[in-house]
Structure 1
Amino acid sequence: MSLNSLGNILDTVKQESRWQEQPMQRILQCWVEAVGAMVATHTRPVSVQRQVLWVATSSAVWAQELAFRRQRILEKLNAQLSQPLLDIRFSSAQWQQLAKQDSLIGDRTSSSSRSGCDHPSWVGNDSAAKGDRQPRFRHPQAAFKHWTEVTQTRSRHLPLCPQCQCHTPVGELERWGICSICAAKQW
């Protein structure tokens, strides 16, 4: 038995497990690329039954429009799939049901929920706003030192917690009147 690097072993396992990949997973991964970002906001793949993809649309108009584009979308999807689809069916019937599910668990496509902007502890992302690249560090100590400097710089302008006098995001003070650490100690 020869010794292989962990990366080679993982690549082999990944290649071997492709046959087990569910077609719906792959469709969801490449849907935006196949239909475009604007169309993707009005559509959602729902299921695959007998090699036919069922897609919910936000309106009957979108269902009709996409029915005309069906062949092109099918070609783009089949280029990405191990088992080709035979057809695509568009319907607005399931859209309301999907919208209700999204409202119960939060809008998964919302950029604010994905990034955490609506969380009380959110203080912003200065480096992303400036377009800076994240530096790579050779040693964990250097990365930790950089992280502490960035965190201290970012929190310098924040108000102080009235209980522990630590810099605290405004959202935490608005929500609990104290920082999240002090609030957790009270629970």
Structure 2
Amino acid sequence: MSRRSAVRQAEEDGFQEFAAARYGHLYRSACLLTSGDTHLAEDLVQEALVRMYAVWSRTTWLGIAGGRRIANPSAYAHSVLVRQFLTHRRRRSSTERPIGELPDLAADPADDSDLRVVLLRGLAQLSDRDRAVLVLRYWEDRSIEETAEIMRASSTSVRTRSYRALGRMRALLGDRLSELVAR
């Protein structure tokens, strides 16, 4: 095995380990972004991982001119995921929805906790950018600056959007949320 193929194999192994370790977390974040649309969430995670794979070998070669280093691949993957979500929502085809559901595949809401269902329904009623801000700030626990960088917005915009999105969630959920949290 040549040195070049050994390096390439090591890079691919490293990426596979990364993808296996981060898939679950990326998927959960994507489910929140898509308001529980598991099929779209899977598509977004796959697209994010494909994009990560495309830059994986270029970012690990620190000594080569033109190469760059990504300090935190997990954060970069989440940035790619959120950008993919926002891009998907801007596309015309994103408004297409299937009409019927197969009875065998339908999720039973009784399997989820009442709180989870209420929160997902509340998130579904928010705009895409509001939903993305809330997921990044409160699910991913990102700073305002990190969220602004991911969303390509100013930190003031993120603060304002967070404040207004939380207000909308409170208005949408009303007393239902406090009842469910008290249990």
Higher helix share: 2
Both proteins in one fold, TM over 0.5: no
Computing the radius of gyration from Cα coordinates, the structure with the larger value is: 1
The TM-score, its normalising length taken from structure 1, stands at 0.24
Higher percent of residues as strand: 1
* Structure of greater relative contact order (alpha carbons < 8 Å, 6+ residues apart): 2
